[in-house]
Structure 1
Amino acid sequence: MAVLAFAMDAEVRMPAFFSDNMVLQRDTDVRLWGEAKPNTTVRITAGWNLQDYRTNSGKDGKWSISIPTTHAGGPYTLTVSDGTPLTFNNVMLGEVWLCSGQSNMEMPMKGFKNQPVDGANMAVLGSRNPNLRLFTVKRNSSTAPVDDVTGKWSEASPAAVRNFSATAYFFGRLIQDYLDVPVGLVVAAWGGSACEAWMSDDMLKAFPEASANIPPVDGEIKSKNRTPSVLFKGMLNPLIGMSMRGVIWYQGEDNWNRAHSYTDMFSTMIKGWRELWGQGEFPFYYCQIAPYDYSIITEPGKEIINSAYLREAQMNAEKIVPNTGMAVLMDAGWAEGIHPSDKRTPGERLALLALGKTYGVEGIGCESPVYKSMEIKGDTVIVSFDRAPEWIAGKHSFESTQFKLAGEDRVFHPAKAWISRSKVMVRSEKVPHPVAVRYAFENASEGDLFSTDGLPVSSFRSDNWPDDRP
């Protein structure tokens, strides 16, 4: 377990994310908790309203209390005492977001080895902002739930931002700039991590294959970032109950070869997190995995699996889980690398979802158009879309090169596609009697259909044929 953050002369101990420079969620009742002398009164003094609040520690010394916060502002002090005070300084009230997932969420502004982040150096140079606060949870894989993390809050500065999640930074920068309130970002991410690793034992009961691989307490962890439940226990469990606005998520690349279970698994994870937090259906916005040629990592002799099925599974989760939104990245991938250098696009598209759907900003587009239906007229398929009030736009033209058609034989052929007002017309000389249409439904297709707000259409298919679904 990580060392709790507390002053050397203090009896009160609190998890590390309660510390100097922290952001607490504004305009709510924030939950505070920790340890103190057993069976004693714990007094909390809030600098933003100069009020005192009291609770009692139990026989084990543990205590918990919810206290009201006011409008955004600061800096304030927060003092917690059981006779010996513990004081937190430079505390802000604002918007708090949890940022989680795998490597494309974890990837820092400085990039990975041989893998840069576009424009990072100049963005880092201009990053100094005392109203943007950053906290990164240190990697920790555990077979038993822990109650603290390792990390510290920092004001945004070149030194801090360089090592901070690029996707989360670009998200937070735009949120903070528009709302003009303090924003706190808590990153809990691990490259290569599976969705299963971020789920509790109870959440995994519905998935026998994953549940069977949950290691016993003190058992062996075969994969630090992929073994079911170990990141939930080691990195997420300590955060449960932390008052926040919502979650942003960028994961799915590790589940690319088992798309058949992802919609249910991902949906179960979101619902499970919400139940544990007890803050209602908080916003949950996530990135659809970007195009990438997964044949690069496919073992010789094995069938190459189409990751478009995973993108489809992610898209389906948005339809069945309320208060969610998916940032489509069909134009922000990298066929040769699983870590696209463009991190500003995913971060800002997540921010658009939050600004439009959570903060109610009017006049902006935040959701990509989605496939609605197809109609067959002779040898032509007519495709319609939802969430496209200004219709569909092409990339520098009124045509698309990413469509395919199939007839009753279920063999897909490249097709000519062109935009006609609110529809896309699709035709192929090799398919005189089409029955199904697919758009960009490949591992590394680069999308070329957008809303007029510049948000790309996700890859999609009209069929439900299971022929090559993993």
Structure 2
Amino acid sequence: MMAVCLLFMFTWALMAGAELRFASYFADHMVLQKAPASAVLWGYGEPGANVKVMVCQDFNIVMEKMVQVEVFRIWKVVLIAMPQGGPYSIEVHQFYEDEVSSIMLQDVYFGDVWLCSGQSNMEMTVSQIFNASKELAQAPHFPYIRVFTASLAQSEEELLDLPDIDLQWSVPTAENLGHGDFGYFSAVCWLFGRYLYETLRYPIGLVESSWGGTPIEAWSSRRALHKCGLSKDYRSFPAFFLFSGPKEFSVLWNAMIHPLLNMTLQGVVWYQGEANTLVNTDLYNCTFPALIEDWREAFHEGSVGQTEQDFPFGFVQLSTDRRVEVDDSFPRIRWHQTADYGYVPNKKMPNTFMAVSLDLCDGSSPYGSIHPRDKQSVAYRLHLGALAVAYGKDNLTFQGPYPQQVQVDVSLKILNVTYSQNIQLHHMDSKVFEVCCSNPALCKWNAIPIGTASFRTVTLHNLTCPETVTGLRYAWTEWPCEYKQCPLYNMQSLPAPPFISFSHNNPSWVVS
């Protein structure tokens, strides 16, 4: 199709009374999802009016579609699947009675769009992380990564559009990547997108919608919470739980996620869970998988089937906070983040990937130890998972070693833990492994030292159980090791994730 784009031949005077506009998150410089999916374009107009949408490049029309504005003043167009690249312009012309009005987007690219969400560790900007000056100085070298940040907002009802925007679609600069503490733009999101771009070499769109100090219940729809037996009472948290952000059920889903549902996505990256070490900790193995499943269904429906129904969902397993062990809420959340499997993908969480971060502690962080500054390692580990799970890169290792078998030799007083990968033993730790010698429901955990390690097997010595071992766990503390110095890594320097296992319900246990 070689027709010439109209390029605003219609006057602004005609446009004035027609109420034609895009939804809030469509703007110059944006990235729309590339083929094989189709991007969805939508906005507002006069009910009953005809709307023509044209995608143009070099003054030529690449595609053209006509739709009618619905009774609720909404028009919505599914574009044809577009290859990666650009720039394109998008013209929208509304024909209503004797009036014609026009709006336009410029410098639009097609690539992959990723949504980044969660709480304050996702909010931390590039100016707050290690090597911030260097990272900010490099920003202009990546003009084909585009960034967008939704404003903080909450609502007791599901909103159609975003109430406000902190950072409209932009080419990255030092200013908009390091705007302010816990403002825009997310360091984890930016670095994740940059690592992807360095491999994929085509445009990446990054959409941030996050709020610090918020529990998962605020990001979950009412139907997702209902699946986990949670009431619809928005104010069910005890008053003594202090959060810096909203805690009421569904208020962030309503205002900061629901308005984005028409957007065609490649995937989601999530960094949240710290707030749930304070409340509903042992429901997280339900609420997190339920959120993933619900978001997938909602984005698939909102994008008219263009966002995949099982789109890739990546997340960060929690790092650390306190050196002094007050309780085991952090280890339990880490475990529940995997739906109690210890690894992903798994049966309850298909097409997911995880960045283990328990070895990225930062006791001297000026933002508090709960906010470690090494977001480069977090994003790098996330992008490995994305390359393997979302992009199908074969033979790419993206998670550290996980135990396949526990073999107990009571007579020799040793345990052999066989892993899924070859391991690197960084040091001979005497506390990171613990055994249970009693009824699993009444466990008193005792440290057991690492004796030797080779290839895929770690041997634990000096077993003190009088008869047999009923449980074994690894790194089950809030602060299990110093920075990048946990005992076990794989050959790609990815840390072994924490685990807990019991002999009575695990066929991989061998006792002799």
Match of 2:151 among 138, 144, 152: 138
Match among 326, 331, 342 for residue 374 of structure 2: 342
Q: Give 2:71's aligned residue.
A: 59
Query: 1:262 and 1:464, CA in 2 relative to 1: closer, same or farther beyond 3 A?
Result: farther
| 2:217 alignment partner in structure 1 | 196
Q: Which 5+ residue runs of structure 1 have no aligned equivalent?
A: 1-6, 112-116, 216-221, 297-302, 466-470
Contact 1:376/1:435 (8 A) holds in 2: no
Structure 2 Cα separation of the partners of residues 51 and 158 of structure 1 = 35
Aligned-CA RMSD value: 2.3
Give the aligned partner of residue 122 of structure 1.
134
Following superposition, the deviation at residue 413 of structure 1 comes to 2.2
1:97 deviates by 0.2
Other-structure match for 2:4:
none
Counting only pairs closer than 5 Å after superposition, residues 62-101 of structure 1 correspond to structure 2 as 62-82=74-94, 83-101=100-118
- Show the 5 A alignment for 1:302-381: 304-316=327-339, 318=344, 319=346, 320-334=348-362, 337-362=369-394, 364-378=396-410, 379-381=413-415
Superposed, 1:439-458 pairs within 5 Å as: 439-446=474-481, 447-458=486-497
Give the match for residue 109 of structure 1.
126
Using the size of structure 1 for normalisation, the TM-score is 0.88
Q: 2:328–2:476: 8 Å Cα contact kept in structure 1?
A: no
Aligned to 2:318, which of 289, 308, 324? Answer: 289
Q: Give the length in aligned residue pairs.
A: 438
The amino acid of 2:22's aligned partner reads: M
TM-score by length of 2: 0.81
Report the more deviating stretch, 451-460 or 184-193.
Answer: 451-460
Say if 2:428 and 2:487, in contact at 8 Å, map to a contact too. no
Residues 272-301 of structure 1: CA deviation (Å, up to 9, x unaligned): 0111111310000101011222869xxxxx
Match of 1:218? Answer: none
Given that residues 289 and 349 in structure 2 are in contact (C-alpha distance below 8 angstroms), is that contact kept between their aligned partners in structure 1? yes
- Number of the residue aligned with 1:153: 169
What fraction of aligned residue pairs are identical, expressed as a percent? 29
1:419 match: 453
Q: Residue 178 of structure 1 corresponds to which residue in structure 2?
A: 199
Code of the residue aligned with 2:44 in structure 1: it is: E
Selected match of 2:29 from 13, 18, 21: 21
Query: Equivalent residue of 1:47, what SS?
Result: strand
Which piece of structure 1 moves more, 118-127 or 409-418? 409-418
Does the C-alpha gap of structure 1 residues 363 and 375 become closer, same or farther in structure 2, counting only changes over 3 Å? closer
* Deviation readout 1:289-323 (Å, 9 max, x if unpaired): 11222869xxxxxx634310111111226321211
CA distance in 1, matches of 2:156, 2:390: 35
Q: Give the Cα–Cα distance (whole angstroms) in 2 for the partners of residues 457 and 125 of structure 1.
A: 33
Is residue 212 from structure 1 mapped to residue 233 from structure 2 by the alignment?
A: yes
Q: Deviations over 1:91-114 (max 9, x none)?
A: 011110000011111111122xxx
State the alpha-carbon separation in 2 of the partners of residues 69 and 46 from structure 1.
Answer: 12
What is the one-letter code of the residue matched to 1:155? V
Inter-partner Cα distance in structure 2 for 1:325 and 1:224: 27
Tell me the alpha carbon deviations over residues 152-194 of structure 1, each in whole angstroms, 9 at most, x when there is no partner.
0010111111131011111011111111101000000000111
The 3-state SS of whatever aligns with 1:413 is strand
**416-425 or 176-185, larger mean C-alpha shift:** 416-425
Letter in 1 for 2:72: D
Relative to structure 1, is the Cα distance of residues 123 and 62 closer, same or farther in structure 2, using a 3 angstrom cutoff? Answer: same
Output the amino acid matched with 1:168. C
Whole-angstrom CA distance in 2 between matches of 1:400 and 1:88: 61
Deviation (angstroms), 1:340: 0.6
Counterpart CA distance in 1 for 2:246 and 2:401 is 34
Deviation at 1:412, TM superposition (A): 2.1
Give the letter for the 1:64 counterpart. K
Residue in 1 aligned with 2:97? none
Contact kept in structure 1, 2:212 and 2:244, CA below 8 Å: no
Q: Which residue of 2 aligns with 1:232?
A: 253
For structure 2, list consecutive stretches of 5 or more residues without a partner in the other structure: 1-11, 95-99, 180-184, 237-242, 301-306, 505-512
CA–CA distance in 2 between the matches of 1:370 and 1:42? Answer: 55
Partner of 2:144, secondary structure, is: strand
Residue in structure 2 matched with residue 114 of structure 1 by the alignment: none
